[in-house]
Amino acid sequence: MTSYILKGGTLPNGEKSDIYIAGGLVAQIAGTITDPGASSAKKIDIAGCMVLPGLVDLHTHLREPGREEAETVASGARAAAKGGFTAVSAMANTFPVADTAGVVEQVYRLGQESGYCDVYPIGAVTQGLAGKALAELGAMADSEARVRVFSDDGNCIFDPIVMRRALEYVKKFNGVIAQHAQDPQMTKDSQMNEGVVSSRLGLKGWPAVAEEAIIARDILLADHVKSRLHVCHVTTAGGVEIIRWAKARGIQVTAEVTPHHLLLTDEYATSYDPIFKVNPPLRTKSDVMALREGLADGTIDIVATDHAPHPAESKECEWQVASFGMIGLESALSIVHATMVETSLMSWNDLADRMSYAPARIAGYEGHGQELRAGSNAHLTIINPTLSWKVDRDLGVSRSRNTPFHGMEFPGSVVATFFRGEPTVLNSQLVPSKAQNEI
Amino acid sequence: MRHLLSASDLSYAQTLSILDTAQEMARVSEGPVKKLPTLRGRTIVNLFYEDSTRTRISFEAAAKRLSADVINFSAKGSSISKGESLKDTALTLQAMGADAVILRHPASGAAHRLAESQWTNGSVINAGDGTHEHPTQGLLDAFTIRKHLRAGIGDLRGLTIAIVGDILHSRVARSNVILLSTLGAHVILVAPPTLLPLGVETWPAQVSYDLDATLPLVDAVMMLRIQQERMDDLFFPTAREYSHYYGLNNNRLKLMKSSSIIMHPGPMNRGLEITAESADSARSVIVEQVANGVSVRMAVLYLLLAGSPDEDGVLIS
């Protein structure tokens, strides 16, 4: 294993330090590295760059098994590394569904083989994501993949009895239920946020209350059975308000927001370009502002990408025919940088918390989300905050091109990512997998 | 101007110019030779993903009176159920050399997608997209109102026009609200609260739940078709109750000014949103709307394919 000295970078707390990486760990952080073993280390000048703990995504669609033309575990892991992630969570809505120990172990193993980041499978809550019968949650928890986060994402667990039982059952192994909050009856055939824009465009509306009613119900259920609820992709000001209320009462609820909901509004649907079609839908400007405020004050715990790759034909069509979803692994950090740090709503320390410490803590990913200090795992993300870049869908690492940010310019380019003490990205380029072990 | 996708594509001057041109076209249609050579050699495709005999025939007649070649491409059901994507169909039409595509589609925004894609070079005319818009219907309604209430001259300032019924799902209502307000008319939308879209207060129109209170104010009333499935989705309790509050009947006719006119984009549900007496009364201009549709569509085709109007919308020099 090669050892490295990263020279002249800035830590999230603003301190300038050199970082010595050896044996997969951060061996020393100091103004001058004094470790006797460091003399043979490879020196990398990162003056002017920011060093963050490796990013952790709690909501990623990797499409394997079953939809490999859109993404594989390996291609998704590479896209994750390019975006500065060292751990991602593979959602369960694959074909077959990740509702058995066999499937989650397969996904876990494919992640390990990729070598670009840790891939933690999320298990389905119900068999086939059908919302009726519980999947074998215990078997998935005890499997090699050690699943702790369960979600029917894409589908809402609508039956309150099923939701209650799931919340109760996972207490046995300190699991958490990540709910996709969407009342299916209120959103049948819905296409976009219900409001002034949907009314003008004649696209069937998706009311905020369809999300908020489920969030409120689940919070009350989680309180009742004293279990842990995680609310996926909150999009409405009302949802933020309900979660704020729940946290004030000490209810064990955590929540995530996606980069696209921090930036884009339903006005983008005016183009009828389904690149902006996503579930849950883009909301209004006042929702975006409430989400930013909620993320800044900690009501919303984390940013999660909801990276959702789709093949070209799923978006080259009428809005109503198109699939929901957008990719986001490679642009997430820059969007949070632009919407939260450049706006002075959050510090770099806050960003490290929302994109690394907190998601790892919620999901129980030991070894990730550690503060940078001697002895911690060497999962690092290094960005040049002054280097802006333009999103080009044709230059992405993901197998799919369905980014809504094509042509937009963002601050903060990922210069390097270190995973287990080795670079997966160096000089802003993905390190080729074969060479990776030889560096 | 290359496409007509929404009534909001049209400025005040362009709208008036289309109405004036349509008047010229109507004169041609009434003459001994009903044909102009203007679009000879041009190919116009009627691409219809929904059944709509009325609109298709109207466009076909308009194109033929301008001497264009017309291809009717009727995709029964939608591209979804047929399996062929809109993109592939558009590429096929492009290969056939279509100068204009007249698109009727169940998906809101389909005409926008076609126009903004690289799939076709031709002009795209929206002949009704989902619950979004139907701009040529708006134009023919404005033409009809102007003819009866403004002697075919100028705009519609000073007129009050009620649009009654399923505003929420109506592409006719959306185009009419935009177009009539462009022309200066005062628009009142009348419907039960369930059939009004969220945010309707931002539209350039007044809203009322009360048809009886509205009718004495109006110069024209436009009744919209009520679809049976709306009742199943609980937008109103029963057809009988709907008719009771929002149907145009003999008693309500008496509330209207004697000069006012009755309109309906068709097809009508006689006995539901409009009674036979109302539909067939002397004040009804419903049949005439159909005839005016041809003139207005001739004007639109002329504008998009033959004319090169400047910013002021001057069409014919």
- Chain B residue with minimum CA distance to A193: B198
Does residue B289 register a pLDDT over 50?
yes
Q: Does the pLDDT at position B311 exceed 60?
A: no
The alpha carbon dihedral of A289, A292, A297, A299 has a sign of positive
- What are the pLDDT digits (tens) for A391-414? 999 999 999 999 999 999 999 999
| CA distance to A113, A140, A286, A332, B289, per residue, from A269 (Å) | 39, 39, 17, 21, 33
Task: Give CA–CA dist B149/B159, Å, rounded.
Answer: 8
pLDDT for residue B77 is more than 70: no
Residues of chain B with C-beta less than 8 angstroms from the C-beta of A203: 108-109, 130-132
3-state helix, strand, coil in chain B (%, to 5): 45, 15, 40
Q: Is the pTM of this model over 0.90?
A: yes
List the beta strands (DSSP E) in chain B. 43-48, 69-74, 100-105, 123-129, 160-164, 186-190, 206-208, 220-223, 261-263
d(CA B93, CA B101): 8
Q: Which residues contact B92 (CB under 8 A, 6 or more apart)?
A: none
Ramachandran angles phi, psi of A183, nearest 5°: -65, 115
High-pLDDT (> 90) share of chain B, %: 79
- Chain B residues with CB under 8 Å of A311 CB are none
Q: How far does A408 lie from chain B, in Å, by closest CA?
A: 19
Q: Which residue of A has its CA nearest to B129?
A: A202
Whole-number percent of chain B with pLDDT over 70: 94
User: Which residue of A lies nearest to B175 if distances are taken between CA atoms?
Assistant: A200
Q: Rounded to an integer, what distance in angstroms lies between the CA atom of residue A329 and that of residue B48?
A: 40
What is the average per-residue pLDDT within A21-33?
96
DSSP sequence for A55-120 = EE-S-B---TTT-TTT--HHHHHHHHHHTTEEEEEE-S-SSS-S-SHHHHHHHHHHHHHH-SSEEE
Q: What tokens appear for A43 in the block? A: 């020196």
Residue type for position A12: P
Percent of all residues in chain A with a pLDDT value above 70, rounded to a whole number: 99
For B261, phi and psi rounded to 5 degrees? -120, 155
Question: Which tokens in the block code for residue A237?
Answer: 């000001």
- The interface predicted TM-score of the complex, written ipTM, equals 0.92
Amino acid at A231: V
pLDDT at residue number B53? 86
- Tell me how far apart the alpha carbons of residues A281 and A261 are, in angstroms, rounded to a whole number: 8
User: Across the interface, do B112 and A271 touch by the CB < 8 Å criterion?
Assistant: yes
Show residues of chain B in contact with A191, CB under 8 Å. 108
At residue B302, does pLDDT exceed 70? Answer: yes
B165-181 mean pLDDT: 97
Of residues A135 and B35, more confidence is placed in A135
Contacts of residue B133 in chain A, CB cutoff 8 Å? 202
The answer to whether the CB of A18 falls within 8 A of the CB of A11 is no
Q: What is the pLDDT of residues B194-251, one digit of tens each?
A: 999 999 999 999 999 999 999 999 999 999 999 877 777 899 999 999 999 999 999 9
Which of residues A1 and A178 earns the better pLDDT score? Answer: A178
The answer to whether residue A306 is catalytic is yes
Residues of A in contact with B106 (CB under 8 A): 320
Q: Is-contact B38 B66, C-beta < 8 A?
A: yes
Put simply, the answer to whether B109 touches A319 (Cβ < 8 Å) is yes
What b-and-e string marks burial along A178-211, b requiring 16 or more CB atoms within 10 Å of the CB? Answer: bbbbbbeebbeebbbbbbbbbbbbbbbbbbbebb
State the DSSP H helix or E strand holding residue A42, giving kind and residue range, or none if neither: strand A42-45
CB pairs A-B closer than 8 Å:
75
Per-residue confidence band for B82, with pLDDT thresholds at 50, 70 and 90? low
Mean pLDDT score of chain B, rounded to an integer? 92
Dihedral, CA of residue A65, residue A69, residue A74 and residue A77, to nearest 10: -100
| Residue tagged active-site, from A57, A99, A118, A306 | A306
User: What's the confidence (pLDDT) of residue B52?
Assistant: 86
> A320: which 2 tokens?
């109503």
> Per the CB < 8 Å rule, is B199 touching A319?
no
Interchain contact, B200 vs A199, CB within 8 Å: yes
Q: Verify whether the Cβ–Cβ distance B108 to A321 is below 8 Å.
A: no
State whether B108 and A201 contact (CB < 8 Å): yes
Are A199 and B109 inside 8 Å of each other by CB? no
Interface test with B, best of A271, A272, A286, A316 (most B CBs within 10 A): A272
Helix axes A237-248, A285-297, angle to 10 degrees: 30
Helix (H) or strand (E) holding A436: helix A433-436
Cα–Cα separations (whole angstroms), residue B115 to A161, B90, B108, B118, B231: 48, 10, 13, 8, 35
Torsion of the alpha carbons at A316, A318, A322 and A326, rounded to the nearest 10: 60
Tokens representing A376 are 């911690």
Which chain A residue lies closest to B130 (C-alpha atoms)?
Answer: A202
Res B312: pLDDT: 45
Mean pLDDT of B263-272: 94
Mean pLDDT, range A248-254, rounded to an integer? 98
